[in-house]
Structures are given as structure tokens and as C-alpha cells.
């Protein structure tokens, strides 16, 4: 199976820069419907979180599965291995730095994968509401892939190295068959439309 084309990737990049991806919109509207008021991409905060609730000092990021090393959906590109390998580890390093620095400044940082947001929107929104209301619990484990290398010439088996978001230490190494199980924007859109139809005009406002 062919990995995404360069064009698709640059389109995705464009969306990322615009900060207006489908998962971000889905999460924002779920929060809005629950009475949460927020700022988008505030320039004064490190990493410009996708959503920031200043009063409660809660910063929310929606991390793209490919760019940030989702253990379920990262697909190792077969070409330009070195470039993409470095890209992944530098993205994960930047995520860690942003998270730790914000936390050191008293912010609660919640990072969700785009797949989580699309598959379990209400759960993600609930987690954010809890963070807004409750004093800080310990952050939950946040495994992400930092390196994926082929272990055979054909590249059909991969060795995958996982770190936790908040530490550089490798927490797990696993070997498994290459997966190309990607998150597909079109499927997401369909899912979101179906969900919108099901929920109709229901609005639960939580203050």
C-alpha cells in the first residue's frame, strides 16, 4: 500500500499551520456546546495550544497521529527514511519541551491524538472539563512513538521505540508487522456528520 503522496502531506502541513484541522474543530465545538469559553492558539503561550482556558490555566493540544507519533496510526514512510525519522523525533522532543515548560509555569497540559478526538469526542471534552474544575491530578501516561526502523530488507517488520511524552527514556520497544492503518479525513468527516445528525439540536450547557 502506498503511503500518502507528497501533495497530501503538504496539504496536511498547510492545515496544521492554519490551525484549523477537522479534529480541532470537532473538539472546539464540543467544548463550546458544554459552555466552555476558550482562546485559540494564544501567541503568548509556548507552542500556541489549540485551545487555552486562561482562568483555569488549562492548555489543550490536538496532536496529529502522523506528525506526533501516535502508537496506533503512525505510518513510517518508506522513502526519505532519514528525513522522516528526524522529523518524528524532533516533533516528539518539541512536544515534550512545550509540555514540561507549560507545566512548570503552572499550566495543566492535556494532549489528545486526533484519532481520540474523532472517536471519543465526548470523553475528551469531559477530561478537559474535569481539568478545568479539579485540582491537578498526576498527568496520565502518554506513550508516543519516537523512532520506527525496519528490521528486514523488505521493511515489512518494524522495530518501534516508544517514549512517554514527559521523558526521553525509552519505555517500550516492540517489533511488529508494518501497519498502514491511517486516520482518514474523509472517514472522520462522515463520522462527524453522522454524530451531528444523531445528536440533533441537543445542547447540554455546563458552567
**How far apart, in whole angstroms, are the C-alpha atoms of residue 185 and residue 127?**
24
Binding residue count for Zn ion, defined by CB under 5 A: 6
Q: How far is the CB of 92 from Zn ion (least distance, A)?
A: 14
- How far, in Å, CA of 163 to CA of 165, rounded? 6
Residue 73 binding Zn ion, by CB under 5 A: yes
Count other C-beta atoms under 10 Å from residue 116's C-beta.
20
Choice from 109, 115, 129, 146 touching Zn ion (CB under 5 A): 115
Tell me the closest approach of the beta carbon of residue 65 to Zn ion, in angstroms: 3
Taking CB under 5 A as the binding criterion, the range among 76-84, 88-96, 111-119, 167-175 that sits at the site for Zn ion is 111-119
Residue among 43 and 141 whose Cβ is closer to Zn ion: 141
**Near Zn ion by CB under 5 A: residue from 27, 36, 51, 70:** 70
The closest of 58, 50, 54 to 127, measured between CA atoms, is 58
Asked if residue 72 lies in contact with residue 180, where contact means CB atoms within 8 angstroms, the answer is no
**How many of the other CB atoms lie within 10 Å of CB of 16?**
13
Hey, is 143 helix, strand or coil? strand
In the complex, least distance from residue 194 CB atom to Zn ion, rounded to whole angstroms: 19
Report in angstroms how near the CB of residue 119 gets to Zn ion at its nearest. 9
Of 136 and 174, the one with the shorter C-beta distance to Zn ion is: 174
> How many residues does this entry show for the chain?
207
Asked if 162 touches Zn ion (CB under 5 A), the answer is no
142 binds Zn ion per the rule CB under 5 A: no
Binds Zn ion (CB under 5 A): choice among 61, 84, 107, 113 = 113
Full 3-state SS string of 13-40: HHHHHHCCCHHHHHHHHHHHHCCCCCEC
Q: Where on the chain is the footprint of Zn ion (CB under 5 A)? A: 65, 70, 72-73, 113, 115
Amino acid at each position: 500500500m502506498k503511503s500518502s503522496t507528497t501533495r497530501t502531506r503538504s496539504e496536511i502541513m498547510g492545515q496544521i499551520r492554519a490551525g484549523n484541522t477537522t479534529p480541532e474543530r470537532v473538539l472546539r465545538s464540543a467544548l463550546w456546546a458544554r459552555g466552555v469559553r476558550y482562546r485559540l492558539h494564544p501567541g503568548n503561550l509556548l507552542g500556541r495550544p489549540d485551545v487555552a482556558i486562561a482562568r483555569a490555566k488549562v492548555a489543550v493540544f490536538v496532536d496529529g497521529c502522523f506528525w506526533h507519533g501516535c502508537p496506533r496510526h503512525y505510518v513510517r514512510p518508506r522513502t526519505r527514511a532519514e528525513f522522516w525519522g528526524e522529523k518524528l523525533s524532533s516533533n516528539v522532543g518539541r512536544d515534550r519541551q512545550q509540555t514540561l515548560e507549560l507545566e512548570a509555569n503552572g499550566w495543566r497540559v492535556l494532549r489528545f491524538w486526533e484519532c481520540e478526538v474523532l472517536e471519543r469526542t465526548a470523553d475528551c471534552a469531559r477530561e478537559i472539563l474535569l481539568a478545568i474544575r479539579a485540582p491537578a491530578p498526576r498527568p496520565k501516561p502518554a506513550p508516543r512513538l519516537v523512532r520506527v526502523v525496519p528490521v528486514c530488507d523488505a521493511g515489512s517488520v518494524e522495530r518501534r521505540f516508544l517514549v512517554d511524552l514527559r521523558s526521553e527514556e525509552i519505555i517500550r520497544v516492540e517489533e511488529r508487522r508494518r501497519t498502514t492503518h491511517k486516520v482518514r479525513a474523509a472517514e472522520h468527516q462522515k463520522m462527524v456528520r453522522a454524530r451531528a445528525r444523531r445528536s440533533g439540536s441537543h445542547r447540554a450547557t455546563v458552567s
